[in-house]
Amino acid sequence: MKSEKTIGVDIGGTKIYAGLVCEGKIIKSRKEKTPESRQGVITLLGDLIDELAEGAKVKGVGLGFAGYVDVEKGEVIFAPNLPGWENIPIKRIMEERTSLPVFVENDVNCVTLAEFKLGAGRGKKNLVAIFVGTGIGGGIILNGQLIHGATYSGAEIGHITLKLNGPKCGCGRLGCLEAFAGGSAIIRSVRRKVKAVHEITKAADEGKKWAILALERAGKYLSLGIANLITILSPELVILGGGVIKAAPRILEIVKEQIPLMALPIAMKGVEIKLARLQDEAGLLGAALGVEQRLGCV
Protein backbone atom coordinates (compact mmCIF):
# COMPACT_ATOMS: atom_id res chain seq x y z
CA MET A 1 0.00 0.00 0.00
CA LYS A 2 1.33 3.41 -0.98
CA SER A 3 -0.70 5.32 1.61
CA GLU A 4 1.42 4.21 4.51
CA LYS A 5 2.41 6.85 7.02
CA THR A 6 5.78 7.78 8.44
CA ILE A 7 6.92 10.37 10.95
CA GLY A 8 9.77 12.77 10.18
CA VAL A 9 11.48 14.99 12.73
CA ASP A 10 13.93 17.81 12.02
CA ILE A 11 16.08 18.41 15.10
CA GLY A 12 18.02 21.68 14.98
CA GLY A 13 19.77 23.83 17.54
CA THR A 14 16.81 26.17 17.98
CA LYS A 15 13.69 24.25 16.95
CA ILE A 16 12.32 20.75 16.58
CA TYR A 17 9.82 20.29 13.77
CA ALA A 18 7.94 16.99 13.58
CA GLY A 19 5.28 15.78 11.16
CA LEU A 20 3.16 12.83 10.16
CA VAL A 21 3.74 12.25 6.45
CA CYS A 22 1.77 10.31 3.87
CA GLU A 23 2.68 10.16 0.16
CA GLY A 24 5.04 13.11 0.51
CA LYS A 25 2.47 15.32 2.23
CA ILE A 26 2.40 16.52 5.83
CA ILE A 27 -0.91 15.50 7.44
CA LYS A 28 -0.22 16.85 10.89
CA SER A 29 2.78 18.67 12.36
CA ARG A 30 4.19 20.21 15.53
CA LYS A 31 6.99 22.73 16.00
CA GLU A 32 8.71 23.21 19.38
CA LYS A 33 11.65 25.14 20.76
CA THR A 34 14.64 22.79 21.23
CA PRO A 35 15.01 21.96 24.95
CA GLU A 36 18.39 22.82 26.41
CA SER A 37 19.28 19.43 27.86
CA ARG A 38 19.77 16.23 25.92
CA GLN A 39 17.27 14.44 28.13
CA GLY A 40 14.79 17.24 27.46
CA VAL A 41 15.17 16.69 23.71
CA ILE A 42 14.76 12.92 24.08
CA THR A 43 11.62 13.31 26.22
CA LEU A 44 10.13 15.83 23.78
CA LEU A 45 10.88 13.55 20.80
CA GLY A 46 9.05 10.70 22.49
CA ASP A 47 6.05 12.90 23.27
CA LEU A 48 5.88 14.35 19.75
CA ILE A 49 6.05 10.91 18.17
CA ASP A 50 3.33 9.57 20.48
CA GLU A 51 1.10 12.50 19.65
CA LEU A 52 1.61 12.28 15.87
CA ALA A 53 1.28 8.49 15.82
CA GLU A 54 -1.99 8.49 17.74
CA GLY A 55 -4.70 6.79 15.72
CA ALA A 56 -2.43 6.41 12.67
CA LYS A 57 -0.73 3.27 11.39
CA VAL A 58 2.88 4.46 11.38
CA LYS A 59 5.59 2.43 9.57
CA GLY A 60 8.57 4.15 11.14
CA VAL A 61 10.25 7.32 12.33
CA GLY A 62 13.05 9.33 10.72
CA LEU A 63 15.15 11.71 12.78
CA GLY A 64 17.22 14.37 11.05
CA PHE A 65 19.95 15.83 13.25
CA ALA A 66 22.04 18.93 12.66
CA GLY A 67 25.34 17.10 13.10
CA TYR A 68 27.38 14.02 12.23
CA VAL A 69 25.37 10.86 12.31
CA ASP A 70 26.35 7.20 11.99
CA VAL A 71 23.53 6.12 9.73
CA GLU A 72 24.19 2.38 10.11
CA LYS A 73 24.38 2.30 13.90
CA GLY A 74 21.79 5.06 14.30
CA GLU A 75 24.02 7.19 16.49
CA VAL A 76 24.54 10.93 16.71
CA ILE A 77 28.34 11.17 16.67
CA PHE A 78 28.56 14.89 17.27
CA ALA A 79 26.12 17.80 16.94
CA PRO A 80 27.81 21.19 17.40
CA ASN A 81 24.58 23.03 18.27
CA LEU A 82 23.06 20.38 20.53
CA PRO A 83 24.89 20.27 23.88
CA GLY A 84 25.74 16.78 25.14
CA TRP A 85 25.03 14.94 21.89
CA GLU A 86 28.20 12.92 21.43
CA ASN A 87 28.02 9.23 20.52
CA ILE A 88 24.37 8.94 21.52
CA PRO A 89 22.63 5.72 20.29
CA ILE A 90 19.40 7.59 19.61
CA LYS A 91 17.99 4.94 17.27
CA ARG A 92 18.05 2.35 20.07
CA ILE A 93 16.78 4.84 22.67
CA MET A 94 13.82 5.94 20.54
CA GLU A 95 12.98 2.42 19.35
CA GLU A 96 12.70 1.33 22.98
CA ARG A 97 10.62 4.39 23.81
CA THR A 98 8.24 4.23 20.81
CA SER A 99 8.30 0.57 19.69
CA LEU A 100 8.61 1.85 16.11
CA PRO A 101 11.51 1.39 13.66
CA VAL A 102 13.68 4.53 13.91
CA PHE A 103 16.24 5.80 11.39
CA VAL A 104 18.73 8.59 11.87
CA GLU A 105 20.19 10.91 9.25
CA ASN A 106 22.00 14.23 8.96
CA ASP A 107 19.57 17.14 8.57
CA VAL A 108 21.09 18.53 5.36
CA ASN A 109 20.98 15.05 3.84
CA CYS A 110 17.28 14.97 4.77
CA VAL A 111 16.68 18.27 2.98
CA THR A 112 18.63 16.97 -0.03
CA LEU A 113 16.52 13.80 -0.08
CA ALA A 114 13.31 15.87 0.10
CA GLU A 115 14.41 18.09 -2.81
CA PHE A 116 15.39 14.95 -4.74
CA LYS A 117 12.06 13.19 -4.24
CA LEU A 118 9.58 16.08 -4.01
CA GLY A 119 11.31 19.31 -4.98
CA ALA A 120 13.72 20.67 -7.60
CA GLY A 121 15.34 17.26 -8.13
CA ARG A 122 12.28 15.22 -9.13
CA GLY A 123 13.10 12.83 -11.92
CA LYS A 124 16.89 13.16 -11.59
CA LYS A 125 19.26 10.45 -10.37
CA ASN A 126 22.48 12.42 -9.80
CA LEU A 127 22.51 15.75 -8.06
CA VAL A 128 24.38 17.99 -5.67
CA ALA A 129 22.50 20.27 -3.26
CA ILE A 130 24.12 23.27 -1.58
CA PHE A 131 22.51 25.29 1.18
CA VAL A 132 24.05 28.63 2.05
CA GLY A 133 22.97 29.89 5.46
CA THR A 134 25.12 31.04 8.37
CA GLY A 135 27.36 28.16 7.30
CA ILE A 136 27.31 26.05 4.14
CA GLY A 137 26.05 22.48 4.00
CA GLY A 138 25.30 20.10 1.21
CA GLY A 139 24.19 16.71 0.08
CA ILE A 140 25.16 14.49 -2.85
CA ILE A 141 22.89 11.94 -4.53
CA LEU A 142 24.44 9.55 -7.03
CA ASN A 143 22.49 6.77 -8.69
CA GLY A 144 19.54 7.77 -6.54
CA GLN A 145 21.43 7.24 -3.25
CA LEU A 146 22.75 9.67 -0.66
CA ILE A 147 26.54 9.61 -0.42
CA HIS A 148 27.55 9.20 3.22
CA GLY A 149 31.24 8.37 2.99
CA ALA A 150 33.33 6.23 5.29
CA THR A 151 32.92 8.60 8.26
CA TYR A 152 29.36 9.76 7.46
CA SER A 153 30.83 13.19 6.80
CA GLY A 154 30.29 12.96 3.03
CA ALA A 155 29.33 16.13 1.16
CA GLU A 156 30.95 18.56 3.59
CA ILE A 157 30.88 20.99 0.73
CA GLY A 158 31.26 24.04 2.98
CA HIS A 159 34.72 22.85 3.95
CA ILE A 160 36.36 22.44 0.58
CA THR A 161 39.54 24.54 0.69
CA LEU A 162 39.35 27.20 -2.03
CA LYS A 163 42.48 29.15 -1.14
CA LEU A 164 45.68 28.06 0.54
CA ASN A 165 46.16 30.25 3.63
CA GLY A 166 42.77 31.86 2.96
CA PRO A 167 40.49 33.36 5.63
CA LYS A 168 39.89 31.42 8.84
CA CYS A 169 36.80 29.21 8.92
CA GLY A 170 34.60 28.35 11.91
CA CYS A 171 36.01 24.81 11.66
CA GLY A 172 39.47 26.16 12.53
CA ARG A 173 40.95 25.57 9.07
CA LEU A 174 41.87 28.17 6.45
CA GLY A 175 40.29 29.07 3.12
CA CYS A 176 37.12 26.92 3.29
CA LEU A 177 34.20 27.76 0.98
CA GLU A 178 32.19 28.59 4.11
CA ALA A 179 34.85 31.12 5.16
CA PHE A 180 34.20 33.02 1.91
CA ALA A 181 30.53 32.56 1.20
CA GLY A 182 28.71 31.52 4.38
CA GLY A 183 26.44 34.19 5.92
CA SER A 184 28.69 34.74 8.95
CA ALA A 185 31.75 35.09 6.73
CA ILE A 186 30.05 37.60 4.43
CA ILE A 187 29.05 39.73 7.41
CA ARG A 188 32.59 39.43 8.80
CA SER A 189 33.98 40.48 5.41
CA VAL A 190 32.21 43.86 5.68
CA ARG A 191 33.64 44.28 9.19
CA ARG A 192 30.24 43.74 10.76
CA LYS A 193 28.88 46.99 9.32
CA VAL A 194 25.56 45.11 9.22
CA LYS A 195 23.90 42.29 11.15
CA ALA A 196 22.28 40.36 8.28
CA VAL A 197 22.98 39.59 4.64
CA HIS A 198 19.79 41.29 3.38
CA GLU A 199 21.20 44.60 4.68
CA ILE A 200 24.22 44.10 2.41
CA THR A 201 21.84 43.51 -0.49
CA LYS A 202 20.06 46.78 0.38
CA ALA A 203 23.36 48.66 0.56
CA ALA A 204 24.47 47.15 -2.76
CA ASP A 205 21.17 48.19 -4.36
CA GLU A 206 21.91 51.72 -3.11
CA GLY A 207 25.25 51.56 -4.92
CA LYS A 208 27.50 51.13 -1.88
CA LYS A 209 30.83 49.83 -3.16
CA TRP A 210 31.73 47.83 -0.03
CA ALA A 211 28.47 45.92 -0.27
CA ILE A 212 28.80 45.21 -4.00
CA LEU A 213 32.34 43.93 -3.49
CA ALA A 214 31.32 41.72 -0.57
CA LEU A 215 28.57 40.03 -2.59
CA GLU A 216 30.87 39.64 -5.60
CA ARG A 217 33.56 37.97 -3.53
CA ALA A 218 31.08 35.59 -1.91
CA GLY A 219 29.50 34.80 -5.28
CA LYS A 220 32.85 34.20 -6.95
CA TYR A 221 34.02 31.70 -4.34
CA LEU A 222 30.65 29.99 -4.17
CA SER A 223 30.88 29.61 -7.96
CA LEU A 224 34.34 28.13 -7.62
CA GLY A 225 33.22 25.58 -5.03
CA ILE A 226 30.19 24.53 -7.09
CA ALA A 227 32.21 24.46 -10.33
CA ASN A 228 34.65 22.04 -8.68
CA LEU A 229 31.81 19.76 -7.62
CA ILE A 230 30.53 19.79 -11.20
CA THR A 231 34.00 18.97 -12.55
CA ILE A 232 34.44 16.09 -10.10
CA LEU A 233 30.97 14.54 -10.17
CA SER A 234 29.37 15.69 -13.45
CA PRO A 235 25.88 15.74 -11.84
CA GLU A 236 22.66 16.34 -13.81
CA LEU A 237 21.55 19.03 -11.42
CA VAL A 238 22.85 21.45 -8.81
CA ILE A 239 20.24 22.65 -6.32
CA LEU A 240 21.00 25.87 -4.52
CA GLY A 241 19.15 27.01 -1.43
CA GLY A 242 19.41 28.59 2.00
CA GLY A 243 18.83 31.96 3.62
CA VAL A 244 21.81 33.74 2.06
CA ILE A 245 20.67 32.90 -1.47
CA LYS A 246 17.22 34.32 -0.64
CA ALA A 247 18.67 37.42 1.03
CA ALA A 248 21.17 38.14 -1.74
CA PRO A 249 19.76 37.48 -5.24
CA ARG A 250 22.96 39.07 -6.61
CA ILE A 251 24.92 36.03 -5.41
CA LEU A 252 22.64 33.75 -7.45
CA GLU A 253 23.19 35.92 -10.54
CA ILE A 254 26.96 35.75 -10.09
CA VAL A 255 26.84 31.99 -9.58
CA LYS A 256 24.82 31.44 -12.76
CA GLU A 257 27.24 33.64 -14.69
CA GLN A 258 30.52 32.36 -13.22
CA ILE A 259 30.00 28.59 -12.89
CA PRO A 260 29.96 28.01 -16.68
CA LEU A 261 33.29 29.87 -16.91
CA MET A 262 34.84 27.84 -14.11
CA ALA A 263 33.60 24.25 -14.47
CA LEU A 264 35.04 21.78 -16.96
CA PRO A 265 33.05 22.45 -20.17
CA ILE A 266 32.11 18.80 -20.83
CA ALA A 267 30.73 18.39 -17.30
CA MET A 268 28.99 21.76 -17.55
CA LYS A 269 27.10 20.61 -20.66
CA GLY A 270 25.15 18.03 -18.70
CA VAL A 271 24.17 20.11 -15.68
CA GLU A 272 21.28 22.39 -14.73
CA ILE A 273 21.35 24.84 -11.81
CA LYS A 274 18.05 25.30 -9.97
CA LEU A 275 16.82 26.89 -6.78
CA ALA A 276 15.60 24.65 -3.99
CA ARG A 277 11.80 24.45 -4.00
CA LEU A 278 10.82 23.27 -0.57
CA GLN A 279 10.59 25.50 2.47
CA ASP A 280 10.99 25.05 6.17
CA GLU A 281 9.34 21.61 6.06
CA ALA A 282 12.02 20.05 3.82
CA GLY A 283 13.98 18.59 6.75
CA LEU A 284 11.07 16.71 8.27
CA LEU A 285 9.82 15.57 4.87
CA GLY A 286 13.28 14.21 4.05
CA ALA A 287 13.54 12.47 7.41
CA ALA A 288 10.18 10.80 6.70
CA LEU A 289 11.19 9.87 3.14
CA GLY A 290 14.38 8.32 4.51
CA VAL A 291 12.22 5.84 6.47
CA GLU A 292 10.45 4.75 3.28
CA GLN A 293 13.82 4.31 1.53
CA ARG A 294 15.26 2.24 4.36
CA LEU A 295 12.20 0.07 4.75
CA GLY A 296 12.17 -0.38 0.99
CA CYS A 297 8.61 0.92 0.49
CA VAL A 298 9.65 3.20 -2.39
Residues 201-220 that bind its own copies (CB under 8 A): 220
Residue nearer to its own copies on the CB measure, 12 or 154: 154
Q: Contacts with its own copies: how many residues (CB under 8 A)?
A: 42
Residues 242-281 that bind its own copies (CB under 8 A): 262, 264, 266-267, 269-271
Under rule CB under 8 A, residue 184 binds its own copies: no
Under rule CB under 8 A, residue 85 binds its own copies: no
Per DSSP bridges, beta strands 102-106 and 58-65 are parallel
Task: Tell me the C-alpha distance between 54 and 134, whole Å.
Answer: 36
Task: Tell me the C-alpha distance between 72 and 161, whole Å.
Answer: 29
The CA-based angle 284-287-290, given to 5 degrees, is 150
Per DSSP bridges, beta strands 68-70 and 58-65 are unpaired
Q: How far is the CB of 161 from its own copies (least distance, A)?
A: 6
Which residue in 26, 56, 71, 233 binds its own copies (CB under 8 A)? Answer: 233
Task: Tell me the C-alpha distance between 73 and 68, whole Å.
Answer: 12
Under rule CB under 8 A, residue 86 binds its own copies: no
- Strand, coil or helix: what is 110? helix
Calculate the alpha carbon distances from 4 to 27, 152, 169, 187, 290 in Å: 12, 29, 44, 45, 14
Q: How far is the CB of 293 from its own copies (least distance, A)?
A: 14
CB neighbour list of residue 296: distance below 8 Å, 6 or more residues apart: none
Q: How far is the CB of 162 from its own copies (least distance, A)?
A: 8
Under rule CB under 8 A, residue 126 binds its own copies: yes
Which residue in 41, 44, 113, 160 binds its own copies (CB under 8 A)? Answer: 160
Under rule CB under 8 A, residue 123 binds its own copies: no
Task: Give 219's Cβ-side CA count (13 Å radius).
Answer: 22
Under rule CB under 8 A, residue 232 binds its own copies: yes
Under rule CB under 8 A, residue 134 binds its own copies: no
Closest CA to 65 of 113, 132, 9, 23: 9
The stretch near its own copies (CB under 8 A) out of 32-40, 47-55, 148-156, 202-210 is 148-156
Task: Tell me the C-alpha distance between 62 and 117, whole Å.
Answer: 15
Which residue in 43, 144, 145, 280 binds its own copies (CB under 8 A)? Answer: 145
Task: Tell me the C-alpha distance between 275 and 284, whole Å.
Answer: 19
Q: How far is the CB of 168 from its own copies (least distance, A)?
A: 14
Residue nearer to its own copies on the CB measure, 1 or 164: 164
Under rule CB under 8 A, residue 152 binds its own copies: yes
Which residue in 173, 249, 275, 298 binds its own copies (CB under 8 A)? Answer: 173
- Strand, coil or helix: what is 265? helix
Residues that bind its own copies (CB under 8 A): 68, 126, 140, 142-143, 145, 147-157, 159-161, 163-164, 171, 173, 220, 224, 227-229, 231-236, 262, 264, 266-267, 269-271
